[in-house]
Structure 1
Amino acid sequence: MTTISIVNQKGGTGKTTTSINLGSALTKLGQKVLILDMDSQGNLGYSVGLDDGETISDVFEGNAQIQDIIQDREGMDIIPSDMRLVDIELSLIEMDDRHKVLDSYLSKISKKYDYVLIDCPPSLSILAVNALYASDKVIVPMLLEVLSLQGLDQIIQTIQKINSSYKKKLEVLGILPVMVDKRRKLSEEVTDYIKENYDLKIFESMIRNNVKASEAPSFGQSVIAYAPNSNSGKDYMSFAEEVIRLN
């Protein structure tokens, strides 16, 4: 079983889209997948058409068991979130071993899965630290733009801090270029800069700009289900195959 945090503290980098479509593609390839939303905006549940119900907030508040709040979509198991995570974050700050809380919940169910994917909040908060501590690896979806490099530095520093503080061996599985327009020279320049200045893998699979990926949440589906033959559908299937090869 591999637990992967999908993380980038910049908004609009496709964390939720990547979590859903990687999960759906892995499921299509025969893997047993759980996706957990740790972002208080709750966009993941909405994007796959989940019914209103209990969320990870109820588990943190002690009102539900994690195994009882799982919902199924497209063969994936999904745990949604909601705005109460904002208040839960404030309460976690007061706790001893506050970085371990999510890990203790996931340990009760994680053996059922080949992959657990965590959609992280767009900030390096205590909720994000919980997600990273519970993970083995990190995937960084990233726009190939100059400002994205500043965020990349912060992610690397946070991972190093978690590894040194908590004796973890968390590693970056790779950077996933998203919303890629291969005609833009800047995309190639940013890619070359990362290769020259960071000891990080850039996935061979790149997610091309495609309207189908934006449309899919309106129908409560992944792009894998909504438009499997679209550029995005094909790109996420290739990406899932690459993730399996690397594990």
Structure 2
Amino acid sequence: MGNVAREHAFTQLFSMVDKNYDVVLIDVSPSITLLQTCAMVYAEQVLIPIGMDTLSFQGAMASIEASRSLNQLLRANIRTVGLLPVMVDRRLAMTTTVLEGLEGLSVGMNIPLLHAIRTDQNVTKAARAGQFLIDYDPKCKAVEDYHQVADELQFLFKEEVHGRTANT
């Protein structure tokens, strides 16, 4: 905690081994902590899952602002690659409210709003069984949604690579 440039701890640590991987995914809690800061500085790309409640929406906004602050303070290049609505139950009024807020946030900040992950009891059942969701029920609706999100992200990253290639 007291080290100079502590925000770069993951960069220093993982740079020794990350060349062996196509993707390094770091899942951190949605709180502004040193762990989240290190993850954001290292990854430079942030995917924000957002539950269908106002607290999650506010947390997403805080994460976006944290990345902006880190970019200014550390001259980093952190960007939010997508907003991912999770635990979506369209029967609930709060879901409609949060989704409308996410649409506005997406347009206003030019951040893609990804396909929503619907609520699915198989998620809880898989966790209780100690299994990955894809192994527990590969045909459940949440797995379908995650496949669609993976396709969207793959498209976004390909677009980014081609855009950079065309510009250089």
Question: Structure 2 length normalisation: TM-score?
Answer: 0.84
Is 1:228 the counterpart of 2:138 in the alignment? Answer: yes
Question: Structure 1 length normalisation: TM-score?
Answer: 0.58
Aligned to 1:243: 153
Distance 1:147 1:217 in 2: 24
1:119: Cα distance to partner? 0.9
Aligned to 1:191: 99
Aligned to 2:49: 141
State the Cα deviation string for residues 12-60 of structure 1 (Å, max 9, x = none).
xxxxxxxxxxxxxxxxxxxxxxxxxxxxxxxxxxxxxxxxxxxxxxxxx
Aligned to 2:40: 132
Secondary structure of the corresponding residue to residue 124 of structure 2:
helix
Q: Identify if the C-alpha distance between structure 1 residues 152 and 122 changes in structure 2 by more than 3 Å, giving closer, same or farther.
A: closer
Secondary structure of the corresponding residue to residue 116 of structure 1:
coil
1:239: Cα distance to partner? 1.4
Aligned to 1:208: 118
State the Cα deviation string for residues 136-171 of structure 1 (Å, max 9, x = none).
211111112223232222112110111111111111
**1:117 aligned residue (12, 22, 25):** 25
**Amino acid aligned to 1:202:** L
The within-5 A match list for 1:1-247 is 93-197=1-105, 198-199=108-109, 200-203=111-114, 205-247=115-157
1:117: Cα distance to partner? 0.7
Distance 2:50 2:128 in 1: 23
Q: CA RMSD in A?
A: 1.6
Distance 1:126 1:186 in 2: 31
Distance 2:120 2:66 in 1: 32
Q: What residue ranges of structure 2 are gaps of 5+ in the alignment? A: 158-168
**Amino acid aligned to 1:220:** G
Aligned to 2:166: none
Distance 1:173 1:187 in 2: 22
**Amino acid aligned to 1:169:** N
1:193: Cα distance to partner? 2.2
The answer to which of 224-233 and 142-151 deviates more is: 142-151
**Amino acid aligned to 1:98:** R
1:227: Cα distance to partner? 0.5
Q: What residue ranges of structure 1 are gaps of 5+ in the alignment? A: 1-92
Aligned to 1:56: none
What percent of counterpart residues are identical?
Answer: 28
1:107: Cα distance to partner? 0.7
Distance 2:94 2:128 in 1: 31
Q: Is the CA contact 2:50–2:86 (under 8 Å) kept in the aligned structure 1?
A: yes
Q: Is the CA contact 2:51–2:57 (under 8 Å) kept in the aligned structure 1?
A: no
Higher relative contact order (CA 8 A, sep 6+): 1
